[in-house]
């Protein structure tokens, strides 16, 4: 069973941590932290949208596969029912012919 869900992409949310960042000291960042954050944020959004598209395609294919399996199962059931009906009709015809033959043989005696 497929259940639709939603994912917040924009605005991106971040979780605060209690980690101590005072020991960073005099660290130089190349490129700047803002440039890295901007680039990472854009990549994150692109990946999340691409993942949603791929999951949508996978869901569609899964539903098509289930529909085809159900159609195949229904066709197999229909074939079984028709085979039983034809065999019953054939057996009834054979029984009728045997009854006619034995009736004719009794009439000759």
10-residue stretch averages of pLDDT, the chain, 109 residues long: 75 72 70 85 90 92 96 97 97 94 86
pLDDT for the residue numbered 22: 65
Cα-Cα-Cα-Cα torsion 50, 55, 56, 60, nearest 10 degrees, comes to 140
Confidence (pLDDT) at 51:
92
Sign of the alpha-carbon torsion through 54, 55, 61, 64? negative
Amino acid 106: pLDDT: 85
Per-residue confidence (pLDDT) for residue 19, from 0 to 100 = 72
- State residue 4's pLDDT score: 78
25: left (phi > 0), else alpha (psi -120 to 50), else beta? left
Residue 36: Cβ within 10 Å count: 12
Dmax (CA) for the chain in angstroms is 123
């Amino acid at each position: 069973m497929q259940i639709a869900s939603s994912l917040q992409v924009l605005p991106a949310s971040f979780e605060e941590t209690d980690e101590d960042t005072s020991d960073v000291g005099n660290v130089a960042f190349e490129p700047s932290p803002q440039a890295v954050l901007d680039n990472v944020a854009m990549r994150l959004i692109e990946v999340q949208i691409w993942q949603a598209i791929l999951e949508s395609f996978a869901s569609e294919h899964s539903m098509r596969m289930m529909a085809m399996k159900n159609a195949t199962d229904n066709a197999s059931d229909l074939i079984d029912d028709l085979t039983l009906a034809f065999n019953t009709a054939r057996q009834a015809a054979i029984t009728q012919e045997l009854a006619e033959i034995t009736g004719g043989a009794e009439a000759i005696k």
